[in-house]
Amino acid sequence: MSSFIAAFGWIFDPAHNVGPDGIPARLGEHMLYTLLTLVIAAAVAVPIGFLIGHTGRGRGLAVQISGGLRSLPTLGLVILLALLLGIGLIGPLIALVVIAIPPLLAGAYAGVESVDRATVDAARAVGMTEWQILWKVEVPIGLPLIVGGLRSAALQAIATWTVAAYIPLGGLGRYLYDALPLRDYPQMLAGAILVIALALVVDGLFAIVQRLVTPRGVSEGRVSEVHDTMRSASGRGAVLAD
């Protein structure tokens, strides 16, 4: 318990709340890195996910690739790319984008795919174009799952940027790595608490957003959520979940 008191003492020490090494600055860096990762990864993964979900084609391949990416150790990928592309943000950023793509992709295609095919056929029957079906039917109904993908990717990015501070980079992970060689456990614990707080707040916000974007009258979302996460979770084994 005393270590927690020391850690909170560290967090609320005014000296740790100003300057380039202060908590607001580190928190800002962490959120900026995370946001950057999500924007780039979403720009890549969401259109592909929509295409897969809408056409029903390429799903097997996407699941395979996502599964493969998942087995890559994140720390190794970050360090390898940092070494190959030079110290700086670019290497780790590419690694983080690669890591954030599978959950975003899975959320996007599972969301679109979760829409009842009869609903889609009905939309087609009343004369909607494929583009309209995607944007006016599939995306709004599938939005909770799409946001769910964003939520997983955000948590993944927050966690991995913490680890990536080893490179060395800014962000809250800095506190852990700076304190480790000094055996300064209060500061390590303080850093850990800050990252955990950030992750839980972001997770909570996304949970609220997910609830807000659920269209009224769409109750199946919850049921299909279970199946879709299982299905997207792993390739062949997941087919069994059907």
Partner 1 sequence: MSWFIANLGLIWQLTLDHIALSVPPIVLGFALSLPIGWLANRRRLARGGILSVGGILYAIPSLPLFVLMPALIGTKILDPVNVVIALTIYALALMVRTSADALASVDRDVLQSSTAVGYSAWQRFWAVELPLAGGPLLAGLRVVSVSTVSLVSVGAVVGVNSLGYLFLDGFNRYFPEEILVGIIGSVIIALVFDGILVLIGRLLMPWTARTTPRWSRGRAVSALAHGA
Cβ(161)–Cβ(30) under 8 Å?
Answer: yes
185 part of the interface to partner 1, by CB under 8 A: yes
Nearer to partner 1, 50 or 66 (CB): 66
CA distance 120 to 135: 11
Sole binder of partner 1 in the list 109, 176, 221, 228 (CB under 8 A): 176
Tell the residue number behind the tokens 């056929």, with chain if given.
121
117 part of the interface to partner 1, by CB under 8 A: no
Nearer to partner 1, 136 or 222 (CB): 222
Sole binder of partner 1 in the list 37, 144, 188, 221 (CB under 8 A): 188
Q: Dihedral, CA atoms, 106, 111, 113, 118, nearest 10 degrees? A: 170
Sole binder of partner 1 in the list 60, 61, 70, 116 (CB under 8 A): 70
Q: Which stretch binds partner 1 (CB under 8 A): 31-39, 49-57, 128-136, 196-204?
A: 196-204
CA distance 25 to 9: 19
> 219: which DSSP letter?
-
Sole binder of partner 1 in the list 44, 128, 192, 213 (CB under 8 A): 192
82 part of the interface to partner 1, by CB under 8 A: yes
* Residues 200-219 close enough to bind partner 1 by CB under 8 A: 200, 203
Cβ(38)–Cβ(154) under 8 Å?
Answer: yes
Amino acid in position 191? G
CA distance 197 to 156: 14
Supply the DSSP string of 25-50, one letter for each residue. Answer: HHHHHHHHHHHHHHHHHHHHHHHHHH
C-alpha gyration radius of the chain? 21
Sole binder of partner 1 in the list 25, 36, 40, 80 (CB under 8 A): 80
Amino acid in position 133? I
Nearer to partner 1, 35 or 239 (CB): 239
88 part of the interface to partner 1, by CB under 8 A: no
Closest approach of partner 1 to the CB of residue 129, in Å = 32
8 part of the interface to partner 1, by CB under 8 A: no
Count the Cβ atoms, other than its own, within 10 Å of residue 43: 11
- Asked, as a colleague might, if the bond just before 168 is cis with ω within 30 of 0, I would say yes
CA distance 12 to 138: 47
Sole binder of partner 1 in the list 155, 174, 214, 224 (CB under 8 A): 155
182 part of the interface to partner 1, by CB under 8 A: no
Q: Where along the sequence are the contacts to partner 1 (CB under 8 A)?
A: 3-4, 7, 67, 70-77, 79-80, 82-84, 155, 158-159, 162-163, 166, 173, 176-177, 180, 183, 185, 188-189, 191-193, 195-196, 199-200, 203, 226, 230, 233-234, 236-242
